[in-house]
Amino acid sequence: MNLAVRWTTRAAVQLEEAGLYLERARLGAGIEFVDQVEAILQVAAEHHTIFPRVPGVPGKEVRRGLVLKYGYWVIYESDSNGLLVLAVWHGAREPEGWRAEP
């Protein structure tokens, strides 16, 4: 079953900022990055438990898929309404920072 994918405003901004940063660093990298994020979400929408749960998030179904080449985590919550993308977070940043309020 394909679940609907929704984005928090914060996660959408993070995706845009990361894509622009990567595109400035290397032509085509931003587009490639966004394509890989979309591929992760497509797999998650079809098989929402395929990616590992985020440790330390009790009571919620929060999972993360890794964009291998770029080191970013796509962090999402799944429920009966679909997937909600919570963050697009680089693995070298403060690990718990994705939870902080903007």
65-93 confidence digits (pLDDT tens): 999 999 999 999 988 889 999 999 987 76
Mean pLDDT, the chain, rounded, equals 89
Domain 5-87 matching CATH 3.30.2310.20: the answer reads yes
Which H/E stretch holds residue 5? strand 5-7
- Give the span between the Cα atoms of 56 and 3, in whole angstroms: 24
How many other CB atoms sit within 10 Å of the CB of residue 65?
20
CA atoms within 13 A on the CB side of 53: 8
Overall average pLDDT of the 28-56 stretch:
94
pLDDT of res. 60: 79
Tokens standing for residue 94: 């403060």
The arithmetic mean of pLDDT across residues 35-41, rounded, is 97
Predicted pLDDT at 48: 84
Pairing of strands 5-7, 82-90: parallel
Q: What is the pLDDT of residue 99?
A: 63
**Vertex 67 angle, CA 78 and 13, to 5°:** 70
